Structure 1
Amino acid sequence: MTKILLSLHVLAAIVAVGPVTVAASMFPAAVRKAPVSVPAGAGAGEQAGPGDVRTVGLLHRICRVYAGLGIAVPVLGLATAAAMGVLGDAWLITSLILTAVAAGLLVAFVLPRQEELLAELADRRPVERARTARLAMLTGLFNLLWATVTVLMVVRPGSTTGA
């Protein structure tokens, strides 16, 4: 059962967290490339270019949807840890804290700022580069937290499993 839970936990992390980290990382640059207005001569169904506002909207939607699916990662992780008998291990507790901080950062800062920038683009208002830079910094911190959790999951300091 432990191997099944661990496999599901890893798959959930790849399928749910991976898209959020990639889409969130792409979002600030896509905002900077998005046109403030549709170029002259562009028809109703035409793309405005690689930085199209629709692309920005899609990246935000990916972040929102997969963030919701991401709740499966700690749930399956806790089930796996219980099955392995490591709920009290420092590396696991640290990973849980970092996961909570990453989730809080995503929900409280990254997603709301994405929504604000998307609304500005939708209203055809110019977006300050400093705002996209701050979002990129927050997104980088979110990604760094997940990378740290991943390393802790692999290395498991103090583990007696020999891995």
Structure 2
Amino acid sequence: MKILGIFRHAKSDWTDARLRDFDRPLNKRGRVGAGVMGKHILEHGVGWRYILASPAVRVTQTIELAGEAAGETPPVTWDRRIYLASSAALIDVLKDQETDPRSILLVGHNPGLEDLIFDLVPDDGSSPLRDVVEDKFPTAAYAVVELDIEHWSDLREGCGRLTHLVRPRDLDPSLGPSLTE
């Protein structure tokens, strides 16, 4: 069995229209949310020692702030292929892992991360949390998928079970959607 953590970047700042999408930083709510989620991820206890992440600014800041709040940041492998990747591209990135760690925390963007959950977790009622993801996988959401595989190269659609899902608003209601969004 392998374990895949899926962590969407925190809320980004759209105020400077001149910035490329890749260069957008986190906004104030995103910085708070990244910290709240960092503490939760540590307390959840999987013990992520291998992180694969998009190098986009909002992802790097999310990881930095989550790590500061948790008091540790494991080494990160930055992979440009994760930036705005589709589910199929993310599966390819995961299948390419040569070190074959027991668990990987993948940090990136929607819609690819949400679609990855849908592709890995069958819609057969075995993972009730899947319905919550179908509603929305918001910024800074964190999910854990247990995979029925021996090696990452064996990754395929339908081999997972969604065992954990937390959104920032679940931990701090002020981090939920505002009326202006």
TM-score between the two structures when normalised by the length of structure 1: 0.26
TM-score between the two structures when normalised by the length of structure 2: 0.24
Give 1 or 2 for the bigger CA radius of gyration.
1
